[in-house]
Amino acid sequence: MNAIQKHILGIGLMLAVFAIGSSGLVVITENATRDKIAENERQALLNAINMLITANEYNNDILSDTIEIKPNKQLSTTKPTTVYRARKNEQPVAAIFTVVAPNGYNGKIKLLVGVYQTGTLAGVRVISHKETPGLGDKIDDRKADWISQFSGLGLNKPEPSQWAVKKDGGQFDQFTGATITPRAVIQAIKNALHYFEQNQTDLFKEHDKAPS
Amino acid sequence: MTEQYQTIIRDGLWKNNPALVQLLGLCPLLAVSNTVINGLGLGLATILTLVASNGLVSLFRNHIPDEARLPVFVMIIASIVTVIELSMSAWFHELYLILGIFIPLIVTNCAITGRAEAFAARNPVGPSIIDGLMMGIGFTAILVLLGAMREVIGQGTLFSEAHLMFGENARYFTVIVIDDYRGFLMALLPPGAFIGLGLIVALKNVIDAKHAANVVTHVSPVNSAQPEGQK
């Protein structure tokens, strides 16, 4: 082996040593943090659910009492989503599931809705969106309380014709300079309520009998 | 404090500021400087990464083969960023939920590779860490300044959403600078970032030019041989 080859081999070996060293560092950290991160994520999810339905309204392990639903046209979901079922003493209380507003101003708006057995909304939260900062992003509960007005409403409260922004003759405020965003959100919430009404019994079935 | 450290501090904060002079790390700089809090968040995460990567690169500088140094830097930086992301998610989960989106952006910050290459690979660990810290603070200062400009012009507030970073009590940090402001959307969108950064760079150049002129008029009667600009 000549000098150049030796030199190249040396560089390759050092590169390998650094690769092993840096991936080793990541592996060790991943191992040390895995359980803690899973616990944190569980807690964060539980907090999100408890913003829609308070913890004393149910007493089951809501994070385990779930079913998967397939991508659904009415909900505009393109991937399987998880439904969390709240029960009190085995009796269904509410379902918490994802609905997508496909027609936001800047693409999809993902919402988490909670619907009581009565068909009344427990609450709605925006999970992710790309709406314009300062205009459309008022749908985010961290920016404004607009989204909280939906708690307690249902398909017939207000009248179906009132389920729209004021500009379209409905009862909900649009934002200054942004009508498309609230319009999309309201439509998605309405879709979610229709979906719930049609699939209510299926949603609370055992794990293996998920509705499509 | 030795002269070397003074030079490092001056370089990082002003003379060779990564955002204003080297113009490195523009991608994250322009993307998340729309409010003070966002800028501060990205800045803090960048400082942490810069200090750690400069320290490690400097520690191994005699073992890193010259021909393969860039891949080694990239590996070191990428693993540091991952370690920081995982650790934050585990121990500061609330903060992670806010800053989490910024952390992957740090990998795209060439200021970090730049400092590894230009400074840490050639200097001992102590000065390298100080260099990382100062460059990070210099970068953060510009992020916060740009964030403040864009936030005031764009939505008439300062420190909005501080509670995302400092907890519920910080909700009251928000200063409404201009009451009943209708907003100026362009400042919040990417063009506002470019224009704002351009103005800050221009301002720095004006200050430097004034300073240089002062030094020259002040010094030239005594020592006219001193070349301009060497101060």
Q: A185-207 pLDDT, tens per residue?
A: 999 999 999 999 998 888 887 65
> E strand or H helix at B103, and its extent?
helix B103-107
Higher-confidence residue of B105 and A11: namely A11
Q: Which two tokens stand for residue A35?
A: 């359980």
Q: Which of A51-55, B73-77, B183-187, B205-209 has the lowest mean pLDDT?
A: B183-187
Domain that holds residue B59: 3-219
Q: Would the pTM count as exceeding 0.90? A: no
Instruction: Kindly tell me if the per-residue pLDDT of B204 is higher than 60.
Output: yes
Q: Which two tokens stand for residue B72?
A: 């080694």
Per-chain mean pLDDT for chain A:
88
pLDDT confidence of B231, banded at 50, 70, 90? very low
Q: Which residues of A120-159 are buried (b: 16+ CB within 10 A; e: fewer)?
A: bbbbbbbeebebbbbbbbbbbeebeebbeebeebbbeeee
Residue B177 within a domain: yes
Instruction: Kindly tell me if the per-residue pLDDT of A181 is higher than 90.
Output: yes
B118 touches chain A (CB under 8 A): no
pLDDT digits (tens, 9 = 90+) for A10-51: 899 999 999 999 999 999 999 999 999 889 888 888 888 888
In this prediction, what percent of chain A has a pLDDT beyond 90? 40
Instruction: Kindly tell me if the per-residue pLDDT of B7 is higher than 60.
Output: yes
pLDDT confidence of B67, banded at 50, 70, 90? confident
Contact present, B205 and B229 (Cβ < 8 Å): no
Residue B46 within a domain: yes
> E strand or H helix at A34, and its extent?
helix A3-52
Residue ranges covered by each domain of chain A: 1-52, 56-203
> E strand or H helix at B166, and its extent?
helix B163-166
DSSP-assigned letter for residue A120: -
Burial of B215 (0-12, 13-18, 19+ CB in 10 A): middle
Instruction: Kindly tell me if the per-residue pLDDT of B220 is higher than 70.
Output: no
Instruction: Kindly tell me if the per-residue pLDDT of A211 is higher than 60.
Output: no
**Across the interface, do A14 and B65 touch by the CB < 8 Å criterion?**
yes
Residues of B in contact with A29 (CB under 8 A): 82-83, 86-87
Contact present, A74 and A194 (Cβ < 8 Å): yes
Residue B29 within a domain: yes
pLDDT confidence of B21, banded at 50, 70, 90? confident
- Closest residue in chain A to residue B71, using alpha carbons only: A15
Structure confidence at residue A144 (pLDDT):
84
Residue B226 within a domain: no
Structure confidence at residue A206 (pLDDT):
67
Here the ipTM equals 0.71
Residue B70, CA distances (Å) to A15, B112, B184 in order: 10, 12, 42
Structure confidence at residue A207 (pLDDT):
55
A133 touches chain B (CB under 8 A): yes
Beta strand pairing status for B157-158 and A91-104?
A: unpaired
Residue B94 within a domain: yes
A152 touches chain B (CB under 8 A): no
B155 touches chain A (CB under 8 A): yes
Residues linked to residue A88 through DSSP beta bridges, in sequence order? A91
Instruction: Kindly tell me if the per-residue pLDDT of A113 is higher than 90.
Output: yes
| Highest mean pLDDT out of A17-31, B102-116, B153-167 | A17-31
Structure confidence at residue B164 (pLDDT):
67
pLDDT confidence of B218, banded at 50, 70, 90? low
**Phi and psi at residue B95, to the nearest 5°:** -65, -35
Residues of B in contact with A133 (CB under 8 A): 34, 154, 188-189
Nearest to A142 by CA among B146, B46, B216, B174: B174
Residues of A in contact with B68 (CB under 8 A): 11, 14-15
Alpha carbon distance A193, A188 (integer Å): 9
Higher-confidence residue of A209 and B90: namely B90
Residue B169 within a domain: yes
How many structural domains is chain B composed of?
1
Omega before A92 within 30 of 0, i.e. cis: no
Residues linked to residue A113 through DSSP beta bridges, in sequence order? A97, A124
Angle at B45 between CA B39 and CA B46, to 5 degrees: 85
Q: Which of A32-41, B79-88, B193-202, B209-218 has the lowest mean pLDDT?
A: B209-218
A48 touches chain B (CB under 8 A): no
Q: Which of A61-65, A92-96, A97-101, A111-115 has the lowest mean pLDDT?
A: A61-65
Residue B49 within a domain: yes
Instruction: Kindly tell me if the per-residue pLDDT of A180 is higher than 60.
Output: yes
Partner residue facing B68 (CB), from A14, A142, A177: A14
pLDDT confidence of B27, banded at 50, 70, 90? confident
B161 touches chain A (CB under 8 A): yes
Instruction: Kindly tell me if the per-residue pLDDT of A209 is higher than 60.
Output: no
Residues of B in contact with A43 (CB under 8 A): 93
